[in-house]
Structures are given as C-alpha cells and as structure tokens.
C-alpha cells in the first residue's frame, strides 16, 4: 500500500479514539482494527492475509502506539505471521505469542487473558499451540509499566498441540523485537509531538517555552532520536523483507537504538512538560509509560549489545562491515 | 553479485592493493589529512571522482547511493583521499547546481580528472562558525571583482589549484544578504598561503590572505548576493556524508581485528558502537537517496553530522579503554586521532550550531 494512503487510513481509525490506559482491557478500537485486518497485513492475500508489506505493518503498529493506544496489534500480527502457511492459519479469535523462559514457565505473556489461543515457543523443541479455554489452563493476570496485560500462564502437558511447521524461535523473537522497535518509534513520535505542541503553546516568563534556548535544544535532541531510530527501523525492515535469516544484526541495531531513544525521549518529554506531565489527567503518560515498558521487552539494549559485540569480535571488521552494508 | 556489491569490491581491492604495496598506511581522518595526488588520479581514472556528474563534464552519471558505496569504502580503508575530497564532495556539486555552463566546463572536468585541487575559503578568524559574519570583501571592477580579506583553517590551501571563496559583495541591513561565492585561482597575484600547524603537529590548515586579488566575472558561482542561500544548501552536502561517521573507523577496525579478549562489559560497549555505526550508516543511505531525488536533506544531514561526530569521539574513548595503552605516542593512529578529535565536532558546523539549526526546524 502507498505510504500516504496507509497513514490516512490509520489516522481515520485512530483520530477519534481517546487514549486510555489499558488497565487490563482491550480498547474499543481493537474491534475495528481486527475487522480491518491489520493483524494480517504483510501476509499475502492468497495465504489468507491482508496483503501489503512488512513496512505497512510496522507503520500501523507505529501509528497505534503514536496515538497512545494499547492494543495487541504487534502480538496478533506476529502470531498470524507464524500461523500463515500452517494448517492452523484460520484459527479463530485472538492468538498471541508466548516464549518459555529458562525454567519452562510462561511469564509476561502479552494480552493472554483476552486471547483464545497461545502460540508458544519453547527454548528448544517444537512450537506448540494452547487453547486457552481448555481445562486446566490457568491465566494469572499481571501488567507491565504501561498497565498492559502481561500474564502468567500455566499449561498442563495434554493441552499442548505441537505445530512443527511454525517458524523457529529465533526467527520469531527477531520479528517480535522488530515489531517492538516499531511500536517504540511510534510512541516516541507521539511523545515528541505532544511535547512540541506544549512548548510552542505554553507561555512562561512572558514568552513561549520554545523561546528558551535550552528548551528548543532539548526538543531538537528528541528529534535526532526520532530521525535516527526511524532510519534504523527502515533498514531493519528492508533486511527482514529481503532475508530474515540474516536479520539479526539489523534487528539488534534497531532494538538497541529504540531502547536508548525510549529512555531519552521520555526523559526530555517529562522535563519539558514540567510538573504537568506527571499527572494522570495529562495525555503524555499514555506514550511515555509505553516507552519505559517496551524498551525492555524482547531484549534490553544490554542484552542485544552483548550479542552484537560478541558476534563482532568473532566475525572481525570485514564481517561487521559486510553485514552493515549488505544490500537489503 | 549486484552492481553495487561489485563496485564495493573494486574499491576494496584497489585500497588493499595499495596497502599491500606499502603505498599508503590506513589512518584516521584520512579525508582531511592523507593527501596523495597519485591516489586521487587513480580514482579519477576509474571514474570515481565526480561520479554523479554529467558525462560531458567528466562525470559518470551514477547515483549518489553509488557514490556513497565508493566514499564509505575509501574511508573504511583509511585511504589518502584528501586531494580530491573537497572538490568532489562540495564545490563540484555546488558549481553544478549554480554555476554557469562556462564555469562548469572550466572547473568540473579538472576536478573529476584529479588535476584541480580545491580548498574551502569559508571560515575567518572573527567569524568562526558564523559565515554571515565574513569580512572578506569583493568589489566590482572592470571585468570582474577585486578581493581583499583573510581566510583561516583552510585545509590544503598550500596544495590547492583553486579555492572556493565566500565574500561580502554588498553592505546590507540583513547580514545574510549580500554574500557571493567565487572560484579563485590559487596562483593569482595577491594570494598568500601561510601554514598553521595543529596540535597533532600536522600541517593541513592554512591561513590564506587575499590582497587586491582580481577574480574574473565568470568566476561567480550562481547569483551575486545570493551566497547565503547557496552556501546553506552546500552545507547539507558537506554534512551529510559518511566522513562524519567514519573518520575514526580505522581505529575501530583495528580493534575488531586485534581483539582476542574483551571482558563482558567491553563487549557490551563494543556492541553498542557497532549498533550506532549501523544506525549512522543507514542515515547516510537516506541522505544519499534524498540527494538522488533532488532534495537538499538539511535536517537529515545536520542530524547525521551531529550524531556522527559524537560517535567518532566515542570510538576513540572506547579504543583507549579497551587497548589500555599505558603510553600512547602522538604518531600512533589512536594517539593522532585523539589529538585531532576536538576538530570533529567543529568542522562543518559545530555541534551547538547544528543543534540550533535543528531547533529552528521545530519552531511552529
């Protein structure tokens, strides 16, 4: 789909929505998002998808986040991508992904309480499906810093249906990190826009805040975060589209960048809002709480940097350079 | 292999060959400090100088993205490219955009063949980063202009055949009006070049004094009095290149190849640097793509330069920490780069000025 058209569609859907904290709930707009087939964007129409490319999906994920809405778009899209091409592609209802941790437990599962099915990747072995309505399945509610559902799920052995055709765990986590980076980029854009509006409209000491040089510079600093994160996101999207198997470095790059941007943008946004930004009534927290929550999900910057550093030493400078400059 | 990958490998092979024959040693900041006319002419023979320009002016009519492939491979290899860098990157494109067909024919083929070496007469002692404050004047005279003034921090003026010159041609109320851009022959009567040695002990800076220098009318770039608008656009080209990211790449490359043991903390730091390099490189591609669509990417270029020079300095700090050298000689590549580093965030617009350019774009 063409970029402008996509942006217009997203704006039509999201503009009337008043951002609200998730507080465990699905937002009303979710029904529209699902009906419009956004979770199926980037999956070819002949595989039951909505068509479009990965960049379209990332743009939609970003738009939802920019608007301060909490919705399981990235999660649903990831699960649908993994199911496409398997015999369970037409599984009804909301399907979300889950990753077993080192103890085999399913913790921090996004939106599990609202889902019909889980698609689970164990650390080793075959991915499996879980019907969340099956007897013995337990969903214990939890939340991230943005009050979005991050639940703990207990699954009896006999409630697992293996799905060997699903993509490998590494491919799924890589795509999850990319989608998270897109969401962070969107939320950061939202935080910048709210802040820009605030400092240009609010007068203090007899002039708009932006007339204070330190304020203008801090706002410009936020912009450098946006411009650079978007460039990294575009590059990672291109590499994922061309060859997901060699997307690790590009994924690490954008996740690290986005996590740094999240910290810095949220900090500046609150600083430039003064005391106003910390209140529940102010809309700023709808985006900044997401930034704080998402920067650590699917690998913090330290975790990805460590992997990238280790690989760099192994492949040497030629390897690093080839990776960075490989045609996408 | 795609055409671009092949192009990349051709540049790589050339640099490796010259290194193997001992004809140059990779060094940081090579685009400003490593001057070798033979190397530049070798690049010219291969069509790699002025490569985006029209064929009838000595160019190869390739894209800015292709040019990025060549420039970043040269920088990565720490190759001696200072002889053609300014002409190829900045003044050539500026003449192409604003110069008369006569001026284009006179200057551009010489740049792309490696025969003309250009230097930048922008900065002045009293103006610093504030180009609108230049005091060098050009007054109209029979058939041209008479130039008087003093330029400083002019890299390679002592080897240049031509200089770009920004001069005041009118006294106006707004100091941004009344500036004009020229091309001046360095062997003109009245031009004096005096070396300025930097604290690393290297001589590439100079002071250039113009005393009643006659410049023919045809040497004006674009429209007299419109210099400010033109130079702002020109700076987008100056800032948006990979040299703002890769000046210290040879130091990082050396570390990556030599590092057997790094503790966990340093591995994380190294990974972060690699990620930042990846981000900046992606931004270089965006700037090049914007240039290919005919846009002057002012914001992107300023952002790239701002973040790029920060990265270059952090590479040096990391290298220092990781190498733990004890004693570092001034002629060591890392030592030399540390002494050169204060210039990174100044040349091409100081970080503070860049931030204020970006801030202006945020205003309603």
Distance from CA of B96 to the nearest CA of A (A): 29
The whole-number pLDDT of residue B216 equals 98
- The yes-or-no verdict on residue A1 having pLDDT over 60 is no
Provide the pLDDT confidence category of residue B257 given band limits of 50, 70 and 90.
confident
The whole-number pLDDT of residue B140 equals 97
- Cross-chain residue pair B267–A224, CB shorter than 8 Å: no
B279 contacts in chain A (CB < 8 Å): 228-229, 231-232, 253-254, 257
- The yes-or-no verdict on residue B53 having pLDDT over 80 is yes
- The yes-or-no verdict on residue A141 having pLDDT over 90 is yes
Summarize pLDDT for A242-255 with one digit per residue, the tens.
Answer: 999 899 999 999 99
The whole-number pLDDT of residue B260 equals 64
Distance from CA of B176 to the nearest CA of A (A): 22
Provide the pLDDT confidence category of residue B259 given band limits of 50, 70 and 90.
low
The residue that leads in pLDDT, B165 or A22, is: B165
Distance from CA of A276 to the nearest CA of B (A): 21
The whole-number pLDDT of residue B87 equals 96
The residue that leads in pLDDT, A227 or B200, is: A227
B262 touches chain A (CB under 8 A): yes
The whole-number pLDDT of residue A311 equals 94
B69 contacts in chain A (CB < 8 Å): 325
- Per-residue pLDDT, averaged over B175-179, amounts to 92
The whole-number pLDDT of residue B130 equals 81
Annotated catalytic residues of B are 238
Interface probe with B: pick from A178, A224, A259, most Cβ of B within 10 Å = A224
The whole-number pLDDT of residue A257 equals 98
The whole-number pLDDT of residue A2 equals 63
A1 touches chain B (CB under 8 A): no
Distance from CA of A55 to the nearest CA of B (A): 16
Summarize pLDDT for B122-149 with one digit per residue, the tens.
Answer: 989 888 778 889 999 999 999 999 999 9
A203 touches chain B (CB under 8 A): no
Both tokens of residue B232? Answer: 């702002």
CA-CA distance, B52 to B89, in Å (whole number)? 10
B6 touches chain A (CB under 8 A): no
A138-140 and A203-204 beta bridge pairing? unpaired
The residue that leads in pLDDT, B330 or B17, is: B17
The whole-number pLDDT of residue A276 equals 80
pLDDT averaged over every residue in chain A: 94
- The yes-or-no verdict on residue A185 having pLDDT over 70 is yes
Summarize pLDDT for B20-43 with one digit per residue, the tens.
Answer: 999 999 988 999 999 999 999 999
B54 touches chain A (CB under 8 A): no
The whole-number pLDDT of residue B349 equals 83
CA-CA distance, B209 to B38, in Å (whole number)? 28
- The yes-or-no verdict on residue B261 having pLDDT over 80 is no
- Cross-chain residue pair B300–A227, CB shorter than 8 Å: yes
Percent of chain A scoring above 90 in pLDDT: 88
Question: Worst-scoring range by mean pLDDT, A2-6, A224-228, B111-115, B338-342?
Answer: A2-6
Distance from CA of B236 to the nearest CA of A (A): 16
User: Is ipTM over 0.90?
Assistant: yes
B272 contacts in chain A (CB < 8 Å): 256, 301, 305, 308-309
Q: Given B274, B280, B300, which is nearest A308 (Cβ)?
A: B274
Provide the pLDDT confidence category of residue B2 given band limits of 50, 70 and 90.
confident
- Cross-chain residue pair A223–B253, CB shorter than 8 Å: no
B275 contacts B52 by C-beta, under 8 angstroms: no
A200 contacts in chain B (CB < 8 Å): 363-364
Q: Which of A293-297, B121-125, B299-303 is the most confident on average?
A: A293-297
Provide the pLDDT confidence category of residue B173 given band limits of 50, 70 and 90.
confident
The residue that leads in pLDDT, A23 or A145, is: A145
Percent of chain B scoring above 70 in pLDDT: 99
Q: Please name the residues between 185 and 204 in chain B that touch chain A, using a CB distance below 8 Å.
A: none
CA-CA distance, B352 to B361, in Å (whole number)? 15
- Cross-chain residue pair B307–A213, CB shorter than 8 Å: no
Q: Given B8, B267, B272, which is nearest A325 (Cβ)?
A: B8
B319 touches chain A (CB under 8 A): no
- The yes-or-no verdict on residue A322 having pLDDT over 70 is yes
B215 contacts B144 by C-beta, under 8 angstroms: yes
Alpha-carbon distance values, B163 to B116, B122, B166, B181 (Å): 10, 10, 10, 10
């Amino acid at each position: 789909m063409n970029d402008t058209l996509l942006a217009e569609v997203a704006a039509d859907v999201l503009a009337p929505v008043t951002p609200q904290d998730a507080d465990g709930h699905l937002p009303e707009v979710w029904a529209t998002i699902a009906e419009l087939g956004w979770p199926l964007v980037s999956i070819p129409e002949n595989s039951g998808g909505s068509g479009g490319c990965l960049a379209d999906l990332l743009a939609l994920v970003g738009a939802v986040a920019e608007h301060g809405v909490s919705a399981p778009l990235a999660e649903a899209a990831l699960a649908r991508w993994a199911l496409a091409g398997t015999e369970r592609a037409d599984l009804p209802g909301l399907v979300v992904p889950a990753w077993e941790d080192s103890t085999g437990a399913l913790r921090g599962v996004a939106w599990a309480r609202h889902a019909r099915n889980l698609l689970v990747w164990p650390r080793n072995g075959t991915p499996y499906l879980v019907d969340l309505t099956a007897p013995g399945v337990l969903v214990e509610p939890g939340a991230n810093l943005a009050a979005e559902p991050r639940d703990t799920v207990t699954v009896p052995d006999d409630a697992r249906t293996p799905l060997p055709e699903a993509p490998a765990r590494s491919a799924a986590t890589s795509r999850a990190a990319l989608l998270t980076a897109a969401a962070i980029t969107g939320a950061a854009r939202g935080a910048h826009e709210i802040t820009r509006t605030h400092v240009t409209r609010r007068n203090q000491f007899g002039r708009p805040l932006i007339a204070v040089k330190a304020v203008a510079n801090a706002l410009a600093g936020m912009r450098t975060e946006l411009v650079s994160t978007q460039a990294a996101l575009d590059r990672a999207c291109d590499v994922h589209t061309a060859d997901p198997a060699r997307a690790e470095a590009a994924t690490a790059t954008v996740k690290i960048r986005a996590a740094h941007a999240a910290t810095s943008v949220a900090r500046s946004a609150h600083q430039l809002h003064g005391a106003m930004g910390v209140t529940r009534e102010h809309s700023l927290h709808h985006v900044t709480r997401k930034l704080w929550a998402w920067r650590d999900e699917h690998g913090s910057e330290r975790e990805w940097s460590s992997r990238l550093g280790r690989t760099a030493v192994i492949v040497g400078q030629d390897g690093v350079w080839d990776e960075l400059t490989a045609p996408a | 292999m795609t055409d671009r990958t092949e192009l990349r490998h051709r540049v790589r092979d050339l640099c490796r060959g010259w290194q193997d024959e001992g004809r140059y040693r990779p060094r940081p900041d090579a685009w400003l400090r490593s001057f070798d006319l033979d190397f530049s002419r070798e690049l010219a023979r291969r069509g790699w100088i002025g490569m985006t320009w029209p064929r009838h002016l000595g160019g190869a009519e390739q894209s800015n993205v292709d040019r990025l492939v060549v420039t970043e491979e040269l920088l990565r290899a720490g190759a001696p490219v200072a002889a053609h860098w300014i002409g190829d990157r900045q003044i050539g494109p500026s003449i192409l955009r604003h110069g008369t067909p006569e001026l284009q024919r006179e200057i551009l083929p010489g740049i792309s063949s490696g025969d003309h070496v250009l230097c930048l007469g922008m900065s002045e002692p009293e103006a610093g980063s504030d180009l609108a404050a230049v005091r060098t004047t050009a007054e109209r005279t029979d058939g041209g202009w008479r130039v008087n003034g003093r330029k400083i921090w002019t890299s390679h003026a002592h080897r240049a055949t031509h200089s770009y010159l920004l001069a005041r041609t009118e006294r106006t109320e707004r100091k941004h009006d009344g500036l004009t851009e020229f091309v001046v022959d360095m062997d003109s009567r009245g031009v004096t070049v005096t070396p300025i040695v930097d604290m690393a002990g290297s001589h590439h800076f100079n002071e250039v004094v113009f005393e009643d220098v006659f410049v023919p009318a045809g040497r004006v770039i674009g429209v007299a009095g419109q210099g400010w608008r033109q130079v702002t656009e020109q700076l987008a080209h100056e800032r948006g290149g990979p040299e703002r990211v890769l000046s210290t790449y040879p130091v990082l490359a050396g570390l990556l190849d030599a590092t057997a043991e790094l503790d966990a903390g340093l591995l994380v730091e190294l990974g972060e640097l690699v990620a930042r390099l990846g981000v900046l490189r992606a931004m270089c591609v965006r700037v090049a793509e914007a240039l290919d669509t005919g846009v002057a990417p002012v914001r992107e270029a300023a952002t790239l330069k701002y973040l790029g020079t920060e990265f270059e300095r952090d590479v040096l700090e990391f290298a220092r920490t990781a190498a733990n050298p004890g004693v570092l000689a001034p002629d060591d590549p890392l030592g030399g780069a540390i002494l050169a580093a204060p210039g990174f965030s100044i040349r091409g617009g100081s970080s503070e000025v860049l931030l204020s350019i970006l801030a202006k774009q945020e205003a309603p």
